[in-house]
Amino acid sequence: MKVGVHVEGYDHLIFHSLLAKLLLLPEDTIDIDRVGAIGLGWHQVLETLPKALMRFRGKACALAVIGIDNDGTADLVATGNQEASEHPRHWLHATRHPNCRHCQLEAVVAATRQSRLGWDATIARWPIVIAVPVEAIEAWLLVIQAILGVGGSLRAERERRQGMKQCVYGRPEATREDIERITLPQIRALTKEQLLLARSHCQSLKIFAAQVEAFRQQQENGAP
């Protein structure tokens, strides 16, 4: 299965492993077409998204995944707040929020679908998954580590983002080798029950996983 992934840095490796877990497929049956770069900022993600989606569409990807960290800096455990207003959390608002990254990505996805409908009617139902880890993908990894009993933190999604890479990798930045050596084996080790537990402790992971599972259900039901 070909999957287009538009993410920062080496995050495509993490998404590859998570997708395999959630789709119940061996990793080597998922062929990742990656768009992204080290240091790709939020505004660049928004700008390059329509082009990336059309590239994935042109390559007949069965699924597209768009990932960008929420990037808030608040320590909600310390402040007791629900969220920081400049980096809102998608699950805390019922209608579109102007500052929410998930909502903004949804709007670009909808506009891209709309602009292409004239010559590709099937694009309206082409599956596109939006992943906005809160506040960073390392929070997902810390929750997974806690569930595996190898450090981490079950409440990482509410903790301060700074220092998370240090906790996960033992250094302030992760190399590709760090991810392959530390993170991927941990994701691969998760049982189905442990992954469900991770989702229950991490709302942004839960939102991502639900979209991927909806896609899996569509596939199983014979969707085109």
- Nearest distance from residue 141's CB to Zn ion, in Å? 23
- Nearest distance from residue 204's CB to Zn ion, in Å? 11
Our finding on whether 102 is near Zn ion (CB under 5 A) is: yes
When binding is defined by CB under 5 A, the residue of 103, 107, 108, 182 that contacts Zn ion is 103
Q: How is residue 69 written in tokens? A: 């960290």
Nearer of residues 104 and 145 to Zn ion, judged by Cβ: 104
* Pairwise CA distance, residues 198 & 196, whole Å: 5
Size of the site for Zn ion (CB under 5 A): 5
Nearer of residues 20 and 74 to Zn ion, judged by Cβ: 74
Which one-letter amino acid corresponds to residue 185? P
Centre a 10 Å sphere on the Cβ of residue 13 and count the other Cβ atoms it contains: 20
DSSP calls for 59-101: TT-SEEEEE--------HHHH--S-BTTB--GGG-SS--TT-H
- Nearest distance from residue 133's CB to Zn ion, in Å? 14
Residues 70-99 that bind Zn ion (CB under 5 A): 90, 97
Q: CB nearest Zn ion: which residue? A: 100
Residue found under tokens 């805390």: 92
Give the interface with Zn ion as residue ranges (CB under 5 A).
Answer: 90, 97, 100, 102-103
